[in-house]
Amino acid sequence: MRHSIALVTGTTSGLGYAAASMLAAQGCRQVIVTGRSLARVQETAAQLAAETKTQVFTPLELDLNAPTSVEAALAELVKRGRPIDFLLLNAGMVSGKERVLTAAGIEAAQAPLIGHHQLTVGLLGAGLLGPSARIVIAGAEPARGDVPMFSYTDVAAFAAKHHQGDRTAAVEALVRSGPNVKYEPNRAYADAKLFVAWWAAALARRLPSGMAVYAVSPGSAPDTQASRNAAPVLKWLFIPIVKLIPGMTQTPETAARRYLQASELGTDVSGQFFASAPKKLTGPMEAMRHPHFHDRANQEAAWQAVVKVSGVDFPSAGQLSAVP
Ligand SMILES: NC(=O)c1ccc[n+]([C@@H]2O[C@H](COP(=O)([O-])OP(=O)(O)OC[C@H]3O[C@@H](n4cnc5c(N)ncnc54)[C@H](OP(=O)(O)O)[C@@H]3O)[C@@H](O)[C@H]2O)c1
Taking only the tens place, the pLDDT of each residue in 38-85 is 999 999 999 999 999 999 999 999 999 999 999 999 999 999 999 999
Is the CB–ligand 1 distance for residue 111 below 6 Å? yes
Range name among 23-32, 80-89, 117-126, 219-228 with the lowest pLDDT average: 219-228
Is the CB–ligand 1 distance for residue 172 below 6 Å? no
Is the CB–ligand 1 distance for residue 92 below 6 Å? yes
Is the CB–ligand 1 distance for residue 294 below 6 Å? no
**For the residues 110-119, what does the mean pLDDT come to?**
98
The yes-or-no verdict on residue 234 having pLDDT over 60 is yes
**For the residues 267-281, what does the mean pLDDT come to?**
97
What pLDDT band is residue 230 in, cutting at 50, 70 and 90? confident
pLDDT at position 245, please? 86
pLDDT at position 323, please? 47
Q: How far is the CA of 90 from the centre of ligand 1 (A)?
A: 7
pLDDT at position 173, please? 98
What pLDDT band is residue 231 in, cutting at 50, 70 and 90? confident
Q: How far is the CA of 157 from the centre of ligand 1 (A)?
A: 30
What pLDDT band is residue 324 in, cutting at 50, 70 and 90? very low
Q: Is the Cβ–Cβ distance between 322 and 127 less than 8 Å?
A: yes
Is the CB–ligand 1 distance for residue 91 below 6 Å? yes
Q: How far is the CA of 226 from the centre of ligand 1 (A)?
A: 5
**Ligand 1: which residue has its CA nearest to atom 45?**
92
Is the CB–ligand 1 distance for residue 221 below 6 Å? yes
Is the CB–ligand 1 distance for residue 96 below 6 Å? no
Please state the atom number of ligand 1 nearest to the C-alpha of residue 18.
16
The yes-or-no verdict on residue 317 having pLDDT over 80 is no
Q: How far is the CA of 214 from the centre of ligand 1 (A)?
A: 17
Q: How far is the CA of 109 from the centre of ligand 1 (A)?
A: 10
The yes-or-no verdict on residue 1 having pLDDT over 70 is no
pLDDT at position 237, please? 84
Is the CB–ligand 1 distance for residue 234 below 6 Å? no
What mean pLDDT value characterizes the chain? 94
Is the CB–ligand 1 distance for residue 65 below 6 Å? yes
The yes-or-no verdict on residue 270 having pLDDT over 50 is yes
| Residue that wins the pLDDT comparison between 76 and 317 | 76
pLDDT at position 197, please? 98
pLDDT at position 320, please? 64
Q: How far is the CA of 262 from the centre of ligand 1 (A)?
A: 18
**For the residues 224-245, what does the mean pLDDT come to?**
83
